[in-house]
Structure 1
Amino acid sequence: MNKSRPVFAALFAALAATLLVATTASPPSSAKNSSSAYFGQTVALSELSGEIGRHQWPSGHPVRVLRPFNPPSSPWGSGHRGVDLDIPTGSEVYSMQAGTVFFVGTIAGTPAISIKHSALIRTTYTPVKSDLTVGSPVSAGQKIGILQAGHPGLHFGAKIDDRHYINPLLLILGPVRLLPTS
């Protein structure tokens, strides 16, 4: 099997996310005060300065994307609010960046852990069973739990300001830049 195939799939997903994120300007300040008004808007890459392309894979290494990011158009709309990564059940899951445990527990019967990395970024990992507690500090690359059965791979999601979903691959890979072949 060609080892570069998973990386190209991840790069393609990041390109799609970059195009979605970079196509419009920042939301107006009035929209930032309302979670429902802010939800469906895209975010300028400048809002994420210092966050783009600086984080680690939650698997510890690049893996294939099983299901790409597909943001919903409304808070309750259909879509896929993260990416599913091809990681086998029983694998260790790692924090993509230093932060503080924001949530550990179950969501709709599925074990989950969320980590607040900055005032801006929060990531969520499911189905992951963790022994960590809310408020615990974590370092980049630290084991945060074990992937459980019940979902195809690891569901990995990211939010800005706890309201707006972004493609988490953007945080790992950064914006895609197409280079000439020669």
Structure 2
Amino acid sequence: MRAKRCVRVITRLVLLVTLTATVLLAPPPPLFAAADVTVPGGDVTVPGGDVTAPGGDFLATAGDVAEPGGDVAVPTVGRAWPVGLRPPVLRGWEPPATVYGPGHRGVDLAAAPGTPVRAVAAGRVAFAGRVAGKGVVSVELTGTGDPPLRTTYEPVTASVEEGAEVEPGEVIGTVDASGSHCASRCVHWGLRRGEAYVNPLDLLPPWLLHRGPSRLLPVFA
């Protein structure tokens, strides 16, 4: 009887030691959820951190990432080309496939140094100065929602000041002799709503985009 009782006591002690070791050696539960924020294309941002796109095209803060293009409505409020009557487009709008992908966030319009640069639509000058040694003018367009559409022109020597109200076709500066990224001289014209870049040509109505030669129509009595 004593032998059987000793066997039972030893068996219970072994089970107790095994359970205790299992609890102590088990890995701790995770402190955070598995996934935080995933950017399409496989890029991951850390919430709270600042993310800067290569090339300095845009800056996203606090974990927000600016996506060029997207479903951003653009009203046709434009009433003038930034330069000339209908300047050649040296390079068009090329939205990148991913946030950090290659592309062209705007259009390049052929323009010689000293060419007047005009506001395409009514608005308020949000910025007029130099960024990284390059002259930039930015205009918030009137009546285009919240946040308003903002169009930019560079490289430009500004002839207006921040806060000034401008009308369509009003001269806001002249093309700089330096700072252009084109092989030939040009003005880079950009458009965005908040952090989303969109095609600035969408501002212009069809009659301004595709102006053809004038025709005289017959007059009937």
Correspondence for 2:70 among 23, 42, 45: 42
| Aligned residue in 2 for 1:154 | 187
- 1:58 is matched with 82
TM-score normalised by the chain length of structure 1 = 0.67
Deviations 1:30-69 (A, max 9, x none): xxxx852x6256215xx33xx2264320114111101111
Distance in 1, Cα, partners of 2:68 & 2:153: 22
User: Which of the two has higher C-alpha Rg?
Assistant: 2
Write 1 or 2 for the structure with the bigger share of helix: 1
User: Please, what is the CA RMSD of the aligned residues?
Assistant: 2.5
In the superposition, relative to structure 1, how do residues 80 and 143 fare at CA in structure 2: closer, same or farther (>3 Å)?
same
Counterpart for residue 131 of structure 1: 159
1:89 to 113, 122, 125: 113
1:169 is paired with a residue whose SS is: helix
Give the unaligned 5+ runs of structure 2. Answer: 1-62, 211-221
Question: What percent of counterpart residues are identical?
Answer: 33
Q: Is the 8 A contact 2:77 2:121 kept in 1?
A: no
Inter-CA distance 91–40: structure 2 relative to 1 (3 Å threshold): closer
Between the two proteins, the alignment pairs up a number of residues equal to: 138
Q: Of 109, 112, 123, which aligns to 2:136?
A: 112
Shift of 1:78: 3.0
The 1:71/1:136 distance shift into structure 2, 3 A limit, reads same
Give yes or no for the alignment of 1:167 onto 2:199. Answer: yes
Distance in 2 (alpha carbons) for counterparts of 1:104 and 1:76: 27
Q: CA deviation at 1:101?
A: 0.2
